[in-house]
Structure 1
């Protein structure tokens, strides 16, 4: 038969024996390769992690293994010791295989460890992504500033090249002159006198006829 023992727990193995062996001593063996090793018998009910009891009424011997470990897996035998005169021997009457398996607490611990590991990996990935994003944004801003600075210098150089010598540092706007009659009744009119002797090269002169609306003229 097959018995499943959960790691860290206690497993009980029950062996039924014939009624003729009721008064005999019972033994619990483990098969290791080609050899049998006695782990415990009814002469000593407890030995290390192993304990044994014999219920003669029900003809069942019970072996308990506490704190099951991974290396407890293997093939076991229940046996009866028989002595006839000066000859003694053992009769093996039950064979079972013990399979260690993770217990519920072990499974929960494994799940917790996996969850913590996944969270740590996700946090690490998120941190690396954030650092990469910040560095990329910083590089992009530096490139943008350099490009704007280069464009401004090119524009200024272009303007200086089109300007007259000696006037690179002077920015002028076209002036607007209006010549209106003094008897106008318009409240929003602008009265300005023109100096015909002005030598301003950028000046633009316009004459307005009487009784007309003022027109703003200029040169961009």
Structure 2
């Protein structure tokens, strides 16, 4: 199971994605796409002003940023991105609510598709699980119709601590985008809007 506690600065064990999803609109899957630079990918991430209220940037942790593309439910995800960028924001006492966006770009469309499918399959087979002495309840969450495909999951920590995360992924050519909202009763709309925003910026980059 992926953890983002270090990067998000909140008492929450993160998860990636799961079953359920939809086909997207607007991003054709044909051919090898134009390669984007790291600067172009970074400009597509969430930025100051994208979120309402008093959200402040979370200092990035290089190891945690890419953790969602390394394993799903303790099973390794194939492939390594040649570019990986991420940015997060938190609001409330001790980062009670947070929203993050991560973009992974792979050498080919086929590799990105393989990673996307591995993440979806991994969480679909994982269902509810125990990790490091903690229990998690998972269920599918509707994702916006963006990219070639998109899907999401809601994961709740089953304990005296109320901690949840809503995470969504979208596939577009050789890139896989992750958007998440986490904390105590996170607003799923934050994850949805984050995914829409990043995907739109990628389309125009």
Shorter chain as denominator, the TM-score bin is under 0.3
Which protein has the larger Cα radius of gyration, Structure 1 or Structure 2?
1
Which protein, 1 or 2, shows the higher relative CO under an 8 Å CA cutoff with sep ≥ 6? 2
Length-normalised TM-score, structure 2: 0.24
